[in-house]
Chains A and B, each alone.
Chain A
Amino acid sequence: MLNDFLILMKSELVITLIIFILLFIKIGKGMKNENLLPLLQVLLLVNFIAGFFFNKNGHLFGDMFYTNELIVFEKNILNLGVYLISLLCADWLKKTPHLPEFFMLMLSALLGMFFMISSGNLLMFYLALELASIPVAAMANFDLEKKRSSEGAMKMIFSSAFSSGILLFGISLIYGATGTISFAELPGQLDGSAFQILAFAMLIGAFAFKLSIVPFHLWTADVYEGSPIATTSFLSVISKGSIAFVFIAALYIPFQKMFETWYLMLVILAVITMIIGNLFALRQQNIKRFLAFSSIAQVGFILVGMSGYPDGTTAVVYFILIYVFSNLAAFGVASVISEHSGKENIDDYKGLYKTNPFLCWILTLALFSLAGIPPTAGFFGKLFLISSGAAKGAYWFVTVAALNMIISLYYYLRVVRAMFMDKNEQPVEKIKTNSTVKFALILCAAAIVLVGLLSWIYDYIQSLMN
């Protein structure tokens, strides 16, 4: 029993351990940021690597907690993302006065996400979701002297409280309608009655809040803009990714029987999310707001893939793996520029190529990957999402998705154009990039190019499904 416990909950235990180490450092003598950050980076790297060993399928605490190879892989993606954030945002992290706290919050949220992905029960899921969202609100407030940061945190708290309320309501309705909240027992109790659909819709609403699916997206842009970039990238990549993993698991396993219902819901949500996200992204000036709306549009694409049961899982997991690299690379460049020059507007990027060609190429590659242009991995990711969506023969739906790729291309190209083509009297000065940041950016760039071309990765994810 103890062995099982240790091995099955391995990822969670390692994270807890790191949190405790941080806690001891904090209440002990304390460490300077310059020394603590490398230590943390090493710990996170170890954590990421440890994720690949001693993995076992099984469940604990009745069926509250379960794990399998796919879940472990998903957790590894999130681990990787957190490791990359610790490298990419090094400039900001070094300066922040409360580094240990920031990481404790971030890792607690990550812990919550791990439990969420592994949960086999709606109650467990709810608890984990709370653990995953409350620390993030605190993280959003980490630019202590900026008002916008507090404003963002406030909005974040309100919206998560609201969505938790909806979620709880949905869970209680589901319990009322079926008499169970266990994922394993739910399928047997579902008959698609109107009451169950109502309960299910509440559940979807809560997911939609967290994933910032239109029309539940209104908090996203403000929170993204106000938060420090480390938090923004955590929110847009790790948090989105984990919710997408859970969402897809919830739809495909316990609510499989209600396929017809949620298929229609997903199609509608996907279409409006893509369109609204794209149209709003067209007019943004602030790079963080811009990436916020672009990530809303990306979520729309993820929904397209999800609607394609049963091929969707692989496509979605694969896309999120790519999305981690692409979006983090974009945020990484934005973080470097904002940290060194304080500039966050797309207009400030004009003429950047003259002074910082390296950053420009990385950002271009990342944006092309987000736009889905070959040979970057984003091309494959998006294509498989769209192909999964087409599996049901809804060609109009796929056409809408494909046309949305063009709209998104327009605004991604806007940034590229600002960097390479527009003239500027006073471009951002030459930035001496920190070597860890450089390493992380190169890592992301290499992954963006290679993940797509190394096609066995897709097969590997596919093989985890069985």
Chain B
Amino acid sequence: MNLLLLIIIPLLTAVAALLSRNKQQVRWISFAGAVAQLILSIILYCAFTKERAGGNEAEMLFEQNYALFPAWHINFHLGVDGISIAMILLTSFVVVAGVLVSWNIEKMTKEFYFLLILLSLGAYGFFISLDLFVLFFFLEIAVIPKYLLIGIWGSGKKEYSANKLALMLMGGSALVLVGILGLYFSSGHSFDLLSLSKIKIAEDTQRIVFPLLFVGFGVFTAIFPLHTWVPDGHSSAPTAGSMFLAGISMKLGGYGCLRVAAYLMPEAAHQYSNIIIILSSIAILYGAFATMMQKDLKYINAYSSVSHCGFVLLGIGMLTTTAVTGAVMQMVSHGLMTALFFAVIGMIYDRTHTRQVSEMGGLMKVMPFISTVFFIVGLCSLGLPGLSGFVAEMTIFMGSWENASAFHRIATIAACMSIVVTAVYILRAIGQVAMGPIKKNQSQLRDATWNEKLAAIILVAGIIVIGIIPGWLNDLVRPAAEIIMNKIAGK
């Protein structure tokens, strides 16, 4: 399995989209590219499990290594483990759905799809690179398309949101850059993730570099108190933009925190774990309570994303194999769920032209398909068993409980409490939007079109498959998480 394909296909798709003649061509080219990538990711998963079943115990599989800038010891080093595969699968699902949902974009269609594909290219590259410099390169590639997507195709105070998002994320990546350079110069000049993981980095250096990297990546995944770009960015972005932002881009941060910060600097991870737990607990509770006060559907999902991404950091901060596995599962689950949520909100908004919960009612009778999906995703968000949200959060809680100290217990209990709050705001929103009397001007709306149905079905399938048979995801992620945790535990 050649990992370069994962970069080449989006690249070709993007170029082809630029060269295409009309809007219809752009749409189909992007769709074809996204589907090809989805198939490729599934093939990658199969090839990976086959290798593992065949007894290949190497930390990373399908490695490729090319010298890029020998003067700086920068290599184009690619490779995947279970965690990367999970993230790649997530990305490819969200990309297909995002392309389908944007079918009706009429304004600058070509540029829109080009930027979407470019963003996904950044994400794929990020998840497979094993060289910190290349990783950083792809991380930054994924930032600027978001600025343009929000600024050009967005709604509301889009320029403000786009600026805020771009500057905060670039700020985060500036911290990441300094952190990476710190690692480079303190490790005897290496950017390579695998060789860095074998070097013991001096604890003094770790104490400085770890917060830089963790906070830098944390900005992407909405670490408290640097989450403020999330509500503005999501609410202003076009539908597919929000889906990519919450579904893919926020996961870059979580992945970076785990793979770069915690993995390379285990001692510092221990020292700072309490702070991480406190910050993520605050994010979970604050996000949940802030959501209760929101009246706009997109804000509801944006704040609930802050809360759900808090679980990811909580899982990482707990530093047990189960909790970290749960954190990765939560990334996948939340990615699918929140992408679906934004897709549904986009569909509703396209028809009702409002996102205010109070201005909608009885949509179940008018648009049964969309409302049903809305129901499913809402239930997933509040953690109903049988859907992916439950599996992921449950795993995190179980992992957290393995820590015996009172502090960890209290943090876990506090995080659990947020589920109740989630139930309150989700059920209230669903009740208002889907149930009750139909609002006057909303009785004639049509249900989802074929592309919207397909997008929703793809994501719903992902949520249900993880919810009903979570074993495969667990088996995929757990060995990789174990390697990371063994390093952190000093084994």
Contact = CB atoms under 8 A, between A and B. Distances in A.
Interface of A: 311, 314, 368, 373-375, 379-380, 383-384, 386-387, 390-391, 393, 395, 398-399, 402-403, 405-406, 409-410, 413, 416-417, 420-422, 455, 458-459, 462
A458 B170 contact: no
The 4 A-B residue pairs with the shortest CB-CB distance in the complex, in nearest-first order: A402-B174, A390-B181, A421-B151, A462-B71
A311 B73 CA distance: 13
Contacts of A395: 178, 181-182, 208
A387 B177 CA distance: 9
Given A384-B72, A395-B182, A399-B178, 17 more contacts: A375-B137, A386-B181, A387-B72, A387-B181, A390-B182, A390-B185, A395-B178, A395-B181, A403-B174, A406-B170, A410-B163, A416-B147, A417-B159, A420-B148, A422-B159, A455-B69, A459-B70
B151 A417 contact: yes
B158 interface: yes
Contacts of A420: 148, 151-152
B181 A398 contact: yes
Contacts of A387: 72, 181, 184
B80 interface: no
Nearest to B154: A421
B123 interface: no
17 contacts: A314-B71, A373-B143, A373-B144, A374-B140, A383-B177, A386-B181, A390-B184, A399-B174, A403-B171, A406-B171, A409-B166, A410-B167, A421-B152, A421-B158, A421-B159, A422-B159, A459-B69
B445 interface: no
A132 B152 CA distance: 45
Contacts of A421: 151-152, 158-159, 162
B194 interface: no
Interface residues of B, number: 34
Contacts of A416: 147-148
Nearest to B137: A374
Contacts of B208: 395
The secondary-structure label for the interface of chain A is helix
Interface string B160-197: 00110011001100110110011011000000000000
A387 B182 CA distance: 10
Contacts of A417: 151, 159, 162-163
Contacts of B181: 386-387, 390, 395, 398
Contact of B175 (A379, A384, A402, A459): A402
B419 interface: no
B170 A368 contact: no
Nearest to B141: A374
A398 B158 CA distance: 32
A311 B72 CA distance: 10
B19 interface: no
B328 to A, nearest CB: 26
Interface string B120-149: 000000000000010001101101100110
Contact of B170 (A393, A409, A455): A409
B68 interface: yes
A386 B167 contact: no
Contact of A413 (B70, B166, B174, B185): B166
Given A398-B181, A406-B167, A455 B174 contact: no
Nearest to B189: A391
A380 B68 CA distance: 12
Contacts of A393: 185
Contacts of A410: 163, 167
B171 to A, nearest CB: 5
A455 B178 contact: no
B177 A409 contact: no
A405 B174 contact: yes
A379 B70 CA distance: 17
Nearest to B74: A455
Nearest to B181: A390
Contact of A373 (B72, B140, B184): B140
B71 A458 contact: yes
A99 to B, nearest CB: 38
Interface in B70-97: 70-72, 74
Contacts of B151: 417, 420-421
Interface centre among B140, B170, B208 (most CB of A within 10 A): B170
Nearest to B133: A383
Nearest to A361: B111
A188 to B, nearest CB: 30
A50 B172 CA distance: 46
B233 to A, nearest CB: 14
A206 B484 CA distance: 55
Contact of A458 (B69, B143, B166, B185): B69
Nearest to A393: B185
Contacts of B70: 459
B141 A375 contact: yes
Given A391-B185, A421-B159, A406 B174 contact: yes
A380 B71 CA distance: 13
Contacts of B143: 373
Contacts of A390: 178, 181-182, 184-185
Nearest to B118: A375
Given A374-B140, A390-B185, A421-B151, A402 B178 contact: yes
Contacts of B72: 384, 387
A182 to B, nearest CB: 31
A384 B72 CA distance: 8
B68 A405 contact: no
Contacts of B144: 368, 373
Given A375-B137, A391-B185, A409-B166, A398 B178 contact: yes
Contacts of B138: 374
Interface in B16-74: 68-72, 74
A185 B287 CA distance: 68
A373 B139 CA distance: 11
Interface centre among B70, B72, B182 (most CB of A within 10 A): B72
A315 to B, nearest CB: 9
Contacts of B140: 373-374, 379
A395 B133 CA distance: 17
B78 to A, nearest CB: 16
Given A420-B148, A421-B158, A405 B170 contact: yes
Contact of A409 (B74, B152, B159, B167): B167
A386 B177 contact: yes
Interface string B271-289: 0000000000000000000
A98 B407 CA distance: 80
A459 B178 contact: no
Interface centre among B68, B69, B70, B138 (most CB of A within 10 A): B69
Contacts of B71: 311, 314, 458-459, 462
B174 to A, nearest CB: 4
A345 to B, nearest CB: 18
Interface string B203-235: 000001000000000000000000000000000
A405 B166 CA distance: 12
Contacts of B167: 406, 409-410
A413 B163 contact: yes
A111 B174 CA distance: 40
B152 A402 contact: no
Contacts of A314: 71
Contacts of B147: 413, 416
A159 B147 CA distance: 41
Contacts of A391: 185
Contacts of B162: 417, 421
A425 B127 CA distance: 44
B146 to A, nearest CB: 12
A379 B170 contact: no
Contacts of A458: 69, 71
B137 to A, nearest CB: 5
A191 B133 CA distance: 40
Nearest to A452: B137
Interface centre among B71, B163, B182 (most CB of A within 10 A): B71
